[in-house]
Structure 1
């Protein structure tokens, strides 16, 4: 029981680390600090994009943990989970950049637009893209 609890704690710490990396990566590609946009300005578009990204990272980490059970030993499982998670964050950040290139305007600024208290529709699209990307990456891990 205690051993299992320790294993859960270790995978949880890896997951939190990867989610923190995902948050920081998204913060880099948006024009304003996410902390300020979501919690101070109550920007719904930023909250939608951040939520989609965090859900996506959680899905990839979950699939990575599941895939790690085929590794030899706990240490190798933790390392593979971290590597797969970081790869997921990189792919999701790349998706954000590619969408920004093929759409009008600067994606980071567009998703943070909040007019009349309503988020820009692009925020929903970007949030869904993160989840769709996570589903694809998770499938690759299974």
Structure 2
């Protein structure tokens, strides 16, 4: 029974860390796009902002999942590595967004906040997913 309780506590701890990292990812995407992300997605139904946020959250999920799978049975070390790799992933995804913005015409955040669908959102989303896959591969 104690294994079950320890497993449940570990699950809750990893879930909390993953949720906090995804919340931080939300904040970073919100900073990258003009206006409030909540307004853009849930009130205006902006597909560009939705795809960008979804790709960032999926990226964080990939990194957190990989960190959990590869962690040893030591919960504290596993949680620490999940936090470290999650933060590294968020930082690298943000840097990649800035580099993509510098390499393309216009302001990427403004383009992605437009109400009409724009192909740049798919490129930005691919960057998020690619960076998270690279980090996941580096973890293993």
Gaps of 5+ in 1: none
- The ranges of structure 1 where at least 4 consecutive aligned residues each deviate by more than 4 angstroms after the TM superposition are none
Deviation at 1:68, TM superposition (A): 2.1
User: How far, CA to CA, are the matches of 2:77 and 2:134 in structure 1?
Assistant: 23
User: Which of residues 55, 63, 80 in structure 1 aligns to 2:58?
Assistant: 55
Q: Tell me the SS of whatever aligns to 1:64.
A: helix
Instruction: Figure out how many residues of one structure are paired with residues of the other and give that number.
Output: 137
Gaps of 5+ in 2: none
User: How far, CA to CA, are the matches of 1:69 and 1:32 in structure 2?
Assistant: 42
Q: Does the 8 A contact of 1:112 with 1:123 survive in 2?
A: no
* Cα RMSD for the two superposed structures: 1.1
Deviation at 1:120, TM superposition (A): 0.6
| 1:23-102 equivalent positions in 2, closer than 5 A | 23-69=26-72, 73-102=74-103
Deviation at 1:113, TM superposition (A): 1.8
Deviation at 1:114, TM superposition (A): 2.4
TM-score, with structure 2 as normaliser: 0.93
What residue number does 1:131 align with? 129
User: How far, CA to CA, are the matches of 1:141 and 1:75 in structure 2?
Assistant: 17
